[in-house]
Structure 1
């Protein structure tokens, strides 16, 4: 191979790996398995070693982590967050042990820890108080996400004061999401027509990078702490520091072991290779560290990782089986999701019959054919996925699988909007699974919370022609005689159901709005829209500019709302629901006036605040005579600005010369 060819190969690897790194660390949406990434990195590293003059200064072999986002304040790490060297085989571990022995002799210990599959975080405590939380970033600096991290229950804001706690220290850990929480939250995203996260790690990472800490608080994150950094040595060993962290009130994993030799380490690795599937959270390997801090210093560091630690990564478990067919599911929002139906096979302790294919792009990427022999993986993925086709076993006459152009349920031509990966059936008023799904969503606990009705009942009612729209629920009392003919539907059940439907008429506007099932309008967005527009007439008439002026309503949501109310059949449903006396306007609570200090003053609140929630600040302003506006205009007196405020609001406020005030400024005005 010529030098030119080698250079081209190296440049291509740098470009590809940097993109994968960005996808993983910044977007939290990886597009390549860890094992494949590490192998490509190994090839690049070898080429750079052989041809150092051709190495790119931006090579991922020189980086520790990812990049920095532009939406959070960038903070330099007091102690760099170095990455660990990875290995996938026992011989590399034995070689690591041999290198350690050459330097230290035989008198040393290892600490074995689970390698949590989450988001690395650095917490700084000063005088026993949490001062700052920063992501790994590129290893030397990261994003300040303190406000979001404070919403995690088991990260203490204050420590009990004790003589043994350093005045200033930094503790490292991993933020993650338990599988049960991931499955529940991902199902909600699916129902809203949003792209689902591939695994809990991505969901946890995406959550930490959210701009609204009140939204972060709704997502149950957890955190294990595993490393202490201080200016002076308070402990002689890593093991001692872990015990101290537990006593100070930090969440430290119980699955940690002190080992005296490499055989003990290998036994620990072998045990957790299968036992990891019984945990409620994901791990992707084991971390091995030399225990003594003095010996760690003696071993030292390479340019990007310590010589006293290494991580063993488990390869994601995979099996080979036959793709029997691809079926298509139509969701409540009309998204058509392909599902691979497989010949049943054992994988990671469970029988796998189906695997996700995500979207049309995935079918095309895999080049799937009927009857293909496929490799299925279940590593960090909760739902098994096809990772590759065994082309050597493909039948010569195999028929290529083509994603449908029409809805598999109602045969309406599918559409795909620019910038989106999913295809949708637009026939939301006549496509059976969409109709049933919407009504099931409407009666749900987070929407109208109608007692006496369940998903199976809705399915039965639809099949019997009793309901075809949400509004039909409110005329079921006219069909009481027909209801009595249904199996398992006695008179008492019917009475309870009709009472539940009648009581739902008292549910507030934001619940009704969420229950309509407008694409991208989740529970929080529905509340923002309800209080931003006050009633359904204003919402229907609102322009794109008026909608995006409402706090946290972006263009995608606004366009979806305009499209929804642009259909006459949707407006008709609103009219029918109004005729049944459902709530379509916000009922403003009477606010007790504490003073008139803000009378005549208007405010917009944006960002995240240290001492008050936005609702508390809103109440504070209104109870002192002030008025909250939904958007920034020339009539606005003050923009109350917190951390991570949207750049568009800031730009508009500056353009209109609207004064920016802080939380403290507001309190000063009320003194």
Structure 2
């Protein structure tokens, strides 16, 4: 065997193992960058030795030549659908039939019946498929079709990352048909639609449609580009038995590299099944994927065989469906609301209809581009969708039901609140020193804080719990303060008097004093909270924390140039321009000055973080100027030859051509011939010097944070501090605070009332701290 062949086999085995750990065990053992390096090495070796490429190689997931049509596949064992249960009584009736079919006691007034063991797992909302393995190799993939005949989608199935092309380990039957669901996660679905919108392609109504449409592409290269996943839920034909129970089968399949549901559980009796259904229902919106119910199966395979089938469904399984999340209703009107940043947003007024157990009369339409995409007209029959606490959305128009008197939707020319002009926003794309302007999706009222709606929303955001955290100022109170003319900017909150507040509806002497005390207590916010409270467009909590931690002072943040801001983590040029523009606005600067003048003292201010001291390079600055034809490599050559920004600006064509190709040299010369460009570059260098980020600045030692690289989860209610404060303290020590528990979680802090997150932490063997131990840990680290 040649050295290349040996290395190829080693790489395939290693990549297969990493895929298994990542997709099946949820325990990645190497960073993505290392996986990519190994994958590239394998790809290069196979390109050099095409005769060594095999169908089960991890590189063979990129799609193949497009088909003209799918061929038909006949299922040796039909892929039957399941019966449905919608109420608890349906489930109890199913359990009664199972007990009768197995000749077990069903219980009476004098005692309970037998407790049948059931497997429980979420019912994924995707597309059912069959995967056929011969001697451990994937040889065919097929859709369910009508249950008897499906379509051969083998080339497409091979592109799904967590479908093993070759089974792991050994001991699998010679013939093994695995059945499961191909689906798309919520995050993957959002990314797909965003990408489709960017290129003007078709967007999908929901993850199920996206998964089905992606899997049935005749061009498998398109399928390969889609974020599809597979989850196994059972078997079809097998040449020999594997286990005696359904869960035993799935656990064995997992050892062979097959992904199964992480929510798979065993329930003893119908009451445990119903408890599982309620638990999954409560956690449904936190799951990474869409589900529409829970599937229960008699766990014993012998009992399954004894119960058998009826018509087109097994007697030993049932799907307990959740209440419908989509319904039909009529669009009565479209009204327009004005938000904190002046965005004028269309809102659908609907004929009330019950969706997922809640009566819905309003739904979001996002913006006028969404109205156009839907082809929406007032009077249309529409499909609306509601998922848990998510605001209901209009998903689709039923055009065949459109009435003759349907009316188009028009954006108002003036603000419905203040009467100011409404204008369409413009998107500015900056690249290679050029600005390209296009129309944005948002319409905006130009009235700013003179518009009552914008002022109210700005104040509500400013006082919110995650911003200045002024307890006692709810939406109703803010509306009264604005309507009475007592507050015309956030700064006015700090000069309110007891006499002004006590006469407002809902206030008395005690509540007035409490509110004024809360306003006074908010005068010492952290810099990050204050930045977030200002309501800068596109600046959320995390970006505010980055700005505060990195630049260290309000003064630096206010004067930072856009290109300097892009040196900070996760701040792109467009957001950088939003931040810079906000602080350049005279009105915003006046409000900040008034706030500081009323006694606000920002905490945690200091120097630029040590990580950014002397962190820049001249070549990096040149690259950021986006000079046409000059990238990072050209910038390095330019600096190596000329040494300083002054010399580069002053250089003539001869000097420049000694460092660069003629085209690049001419581009640099032409760029700096414009005095505005030269001045901009010098200002950038001056600011980097002032901030201590310049390459000639003093380098500082970066001290490692004690919890850096760790992921923590807070659950339950903390009694000695709020969860927000706990989160801030953990982040100040370098930890990432997540909203869900996984195998990657380092520690869980559990207060009273902790529920499913604590349960999952215990199941995974993750360290759990109570509040006392948590506070002791913080104190040990000076938190």
TM-score by length of 1: 0.49
**Which of the two has higher C-alpha Rg?**
2
With CA pairs under 8 Å and 6+ residues apart, which has the higher RCO, 1 or 2? 1
